[in-house]
Structure 1
């Protein structure tokens, strides 16, 4: 079984692939940053609640956008499993053609997962993460560009943290666009406001590339927005980590 680890700015997601479709997954908070010894202690006991025997792990792949944690996570997992872990990034070979030497591992993995999905035509991958990103991909696997905006939770936390009287709220769609109390007013702004931006950005990208793209969403809150629009075709919260698995399969013979 393959253990795939996606180190993001908010969460570290783990996924154990029993097969391509049989996946056990969980997350832990990225912060506070921990030492390799703290991570070793934390990781050593994380499999038991999911009924996983760590001896069954035969491969490890790590993707990260948090450089201070990358090596510590790698060392901790290698100590536990006595396996050499593969770290993948934008330079890991695949059929995807990058448009920039600044592309983050998460964006590259999103592009890889979309390209190898086997669906023809141009695609847009929307990642509802710490940042809200839109990635364009053409039918040949070339990344045509990226949009980066503040993430929904990031924006909501900033709103609450920088005002004296606005409360923490549950992120869900209110019954009406025009709210009648503070909570529903904020929910409308965060849900319908961002949804309008997402729909508008999809329209603008489609117009720019001259085609109605297949739209894939992922990330922590993508599932909240998918039911509210017909412009998102697929929501897959494991899309990014599936891209890490594909990169591992394409390059596992290079592990020394």
Structure 2
């Protein structure tokens, strides 16, 4: 079996997957960055992938990258200089998150006849637009659900620090539920509004929802949006195949 190791190193968690040449996920794991070395070594030991790719939006240990270059025959760290099968029209490439580029690639290759908006709900909510002419145009960045809760506490004197887990009712009945509802329903309304704007301006429009908070928001949306929690990992595998030929 020929399979690749794809790693999405986010602000909150690390996700890693073994993905075959047909872009099917064989195994996927999520773990804290402190466990990354052990978890990645286990995946390599079990599946013996020869190729790997890393997409990171945070500062992680350089030892991890060094280990991957030793353990794998071919290793790619995704950056704005990595060759991808779409055109990058983003004007500040040095500040473009590698994850956004990976999402755009996955969306276009899976839906090449559509103008795709990928909504990634994580620490921030990013809206990533790639046209069917292969041009990645950029999009929108806004605070994620957790960040909205943290901001309410940080920038006021009396609003408490609360957890996202708990009741999320349209009509909050106390301070905690009002804050949680504001963060969740506010984010969902934002997503619906932005999708409506894109849909009105671009024909053949398609929206995809992904990211750690996607399950939380999907049920609150009025628009029917396809959800794919593993979109970035699949995109990374496609980029890896585009850059590295078959390794035996």
Find the aligned partners of 2:47 and 2:128 in 1 and give their Cα distance.
37
Alpha-carbon distance change, 171 to 124 in structure 1, aligned in 2, over 3 angstroms: farther
1:143 aligns with 2:143: no
Partner of 2:85: 95
**Offset of residue 20 of structure 1:** 2.2
Query: For 1:80-159, what aligned pairs fall within 5 Å after superposition?
Result: 81-100=71-90, 101-102=92-93, 103-159=96-152
**Offset of residue 158 of structure 1:** 3.0
Alpha-carbon RMSD across the aligned residues, in angstroms, is: 2.7
Residue pair 1:216, 1:232 contacting (<8 A) in 2 also? no
Partner of 1:74: 65
Question: For 1:92, what is the secondary structure of its paired residue?
Answer: coil
Q: TM-score, normalised by structure 2?
A: 0.84
Find the aligned partners of 2:54 and 2:104 in 1 and give their Cα distance.
16
Question: For 1:69, what is the secondary structure of its paired residue?
Answer: coil
Partner of 1:5: 7
Residue pair 2:127, 2:140 contacting (<8 A) in 1 also? yes
Deviation above 4 Å: which 4+ runs of structure 1? 45-48, 161-165
Partner of 2:168: 174
Question: For 1:206, what is the secondary structure of its paired residue?
Answer: helix
Find the aligned partners of 1:55 and 1:24 in 2 and give their Cα distance.
10
Partner of 2:232: 240
How many residues matched? 240
Residue pair 1:217, 1:235 contacting (<8 A) in 2 also? yes
Residue pair 1:173, 1:191 contacting (<8 A) in 2 also? no
What residue ranges of structure 2 are gaps of 5+ in the alignment? none
Higher relative CO (Cα under 8 Å, sequence separation at least 6) belongs to: 2
Q: TM-score, normalised by structure 1?
A: 0.82
Alpha-carbon distance change, 168 to 212 in structure 1, aligned in 2, over 3 angstroms: farther
